[in-house]
């Protein structure tokens, strides 16, 4: 039928005013073209919408029904325009985030996510827990928009922003001999004398590689007593006296009975936390907003 939105607006003005002259003034057009457009609309829909004579204008039953539908159509158009504008501003839409198992224990990250949730409640956030290397394929395909992960080798279409570096620490059980070095810090070489509770390679891929590299750089060959996939399990095994463990600072937010945390004497022993994204895909505005917030809260404040 090729009915245009202006036809609906013209008809609504006449239907509300019930006077062509007043409707024309309201629309800022002259009366003859308005009458012609209403007549054209009636021809297009093959229905008489208005009864008119020299004195009066009235809605026909078909016109009354069409007025209700016209209101709904224009309302839907306005709502769609509002949603599009809000999505462009990052106030509406969907956001998929990949994160490692240690991310919930990173205070500045969780604080930023909470601030984002409060600022943009109409953005639907989908969180996907994956280890660092598991996040790479969905970032490439676009299944997730951004990833929070440890440093690793990235394909060329992915890039990253360094969020922060967190120091490695040692988790020991209550009464362990290394507690004598609580004030000075534990050297990496000292760890060779004790069995380690370690990440399973398939779960903590980046930390597994980083810790092995850290030990190898000091000539330490670890004795692995147990492997586990979950941080809570690792610390539980430490508490049970099954060994000690090398962890990152974010783990220390977990308070486990019988577990103490010690600093390493080597202050350069750190793990990088990255915010990773696909440079070949257009980032949703919602993802850009979260990225800006994370960088402001973490990177910006650390540079002050």
Backbone angles phi, psi at 13, to 5 degrees: -60, -45
Does the CA dihedral 199-200-203-209 come out positive or negative? positive
Q: What's the CATH fold of domain 164-271?
A: D-Maltodextrin-Binding Protein; domain 2 (3.40.190)
Residue 45 contacts residue 37 (beta carbons within 8 Å): no
Tell me which of 238 and 204 has the higher pLDDT: 238
Instruction: Sort strands 196-199 and 158-173 into parallel, antiparallel or unpaired.
Output: unpaired
User: Residue 14 — very low, low, confident or very high, per pLDDT cuts 50/70/90?
Assistant: very high
**Average pLDDT value for the chain:** 91
Rounded Cα distance, 221 and 211, in Å: 11
User: What is the CB neighbour count within 10 angstroms for residue 23?
Assistant: 23
Q: What is the pLDDT, as a whole number, of residue 304?
A: 46
Query: Could you give the CA distance from residue 147 to residue 130 in angstroms, rounded to a whole number?
Result: 9
| Residue 82: other Cβ atoms inside 10 A | 11
Q: Which two tokens stand for residue 298?
A: 């973490």
Q: What is the pTM of this model?
A: 0.77
Separation of CA 180 from chain center:
43
**Mean per-residue pLDDT, 233-257:** 92
8 against 302, higher pLDDT: 8
Q: For the residues 256-278, what does the mean pLDDT come to?
A: 92
Residue-level pLDDT at 202: 72
**C-alpha distances out from residue 106 to 10, 130, 195, 239, Å:** 58, 16, 27, 22
Report residue 204's pLDDT band, with 50, 70 and 90 as the boundaries.
low
Average pLDDT over residues 62-77: 95
Max CA separation in the chain (angstroms) = 105
Residue 103, pLDDT above cutoff 60: yes
In this predicted structure, what is the pLDDT of residue 87? 85
pLDDT tens per residue, range 127-158: 999 989 899 999 999 999 999 999 999 999 99
Is residue 112 a contact partner of residue 297, using CB atoms and an 8 Å limit?
A: yes
Place of tokens 């505005």: 285
Q: Is the confidence at residue 259, as pLDDT, over 60?
A: yes
What's the CA angle centered on 264, arms 262 and 268, to 5 degrees? Answer: 145
Q: How far is CA 276 from CA 26, 154, 254, 270, 296, in A?
A: 53, 9, 26, 19, 16
Q: How confident is the model at residue 303 (pLDDT cuts 50, 70, 90)?
A: low
Please determine, for residue 300, whether its predicted confidence score (pLDDT) is greater than 90.
no
Domain boundaries, the chain: 5-89, 93-157+279-300, 164-271
| CATH number of the domain located at residue range(s) 5-89 in this protein | 1.10.10.10
pLDDT tens, position by position, 225-234: 998 877 888 9
From 161, 164, 106, select the one nearest 276 (Cα to Cα).
161
Q: What's the alpha-carbon Rg for the chain, to the nearest Å?
A: 32
The confidence band for 56, taking pLDDT boundaries of 50, 70 and 90, is: confident
User: What does the pLDDT average to over 187-205?
Assistant: 85
Of 26, 50, 27, the residue nearest 40 (C-alpha): 50
Mean pLDDT of 32-39: 94
- Check if 5-89 and 164-271 are the same fold: no
**Low-confidence winner among 39-48, 193-202, 295-304 (lowest mean pLDDT):** 295-304
CATH 1.25.40.10 corresponds to the domain 93-157+279-300: no
Q: Which range has the worst mean pLDDT, 37-41, 45-49, 300-304?
A: 300-304
Could you tell me the pLDDT band of residue 1, with boundaries at 50, 70 and 90? low
Contact between 233 and 186 (Cβ < 8 Å)? no
């Amino acid at each position: 039928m090729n009915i245009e939105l202006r036809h609906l607006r013209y008809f609504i003005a006449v239907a509300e005013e019930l006077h062509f002259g007043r409707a024309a003034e309201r629309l800022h057009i002259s009366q003859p073209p308005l009458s012609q457009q209403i007549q054209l609309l009636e021809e297009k829909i093959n229905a008489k919408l208005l009864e008119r004579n020299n004195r009066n204008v009235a809605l026909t039953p078909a016109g009354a029904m069409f007025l209700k539908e016209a209101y709904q159509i224009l309302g839907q158009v306005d709502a769609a325009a509002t949603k599009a504008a809000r999505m462009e501003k990052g106030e509406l839409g969907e956001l998929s985030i990949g994160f490692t198992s240690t991310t919930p224990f990173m205070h500045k990250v969780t604080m930023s996510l909470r601030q984002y949730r409060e600022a943009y409640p109409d953005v639907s956030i989908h969180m996907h827990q994956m280890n660092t290397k598991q996040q790479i394929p969905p970032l490439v395909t676009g299944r997730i928009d951004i990833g929070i992960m440890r440093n690793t080798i990235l394909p060329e279409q992915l890039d990253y922003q360094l969020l922060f570096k967190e120091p490695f620490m040692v988790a020991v059980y209550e009464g362990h001999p290394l507690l004598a070095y609580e004030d000075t810090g534990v050297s990496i070489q000292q760890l060779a004398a004790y069995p380690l509770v370690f990440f399973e390679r398939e779960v903590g891929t980046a930390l597994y590689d980083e810790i092995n590299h850290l030990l190898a750089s000091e000539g330490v060959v670890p004795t692995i007593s147990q492997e586990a996939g979950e941080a809570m399990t690792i610390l539980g095994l430490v508490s049970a006296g099954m060994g000690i463990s090398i962890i990152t600072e974010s783990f220390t937010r977990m308070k486990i009975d019988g577990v103490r945390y010690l600093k390493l004497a080597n202050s350069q022993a750190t793990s990088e936390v990255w915010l990773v994204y696909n440079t070949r895909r257009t980032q949703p505005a919602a993802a850009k907003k979260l990225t800006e917030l994370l960088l402001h809260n973490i990177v910006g404040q650390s540079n002050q």
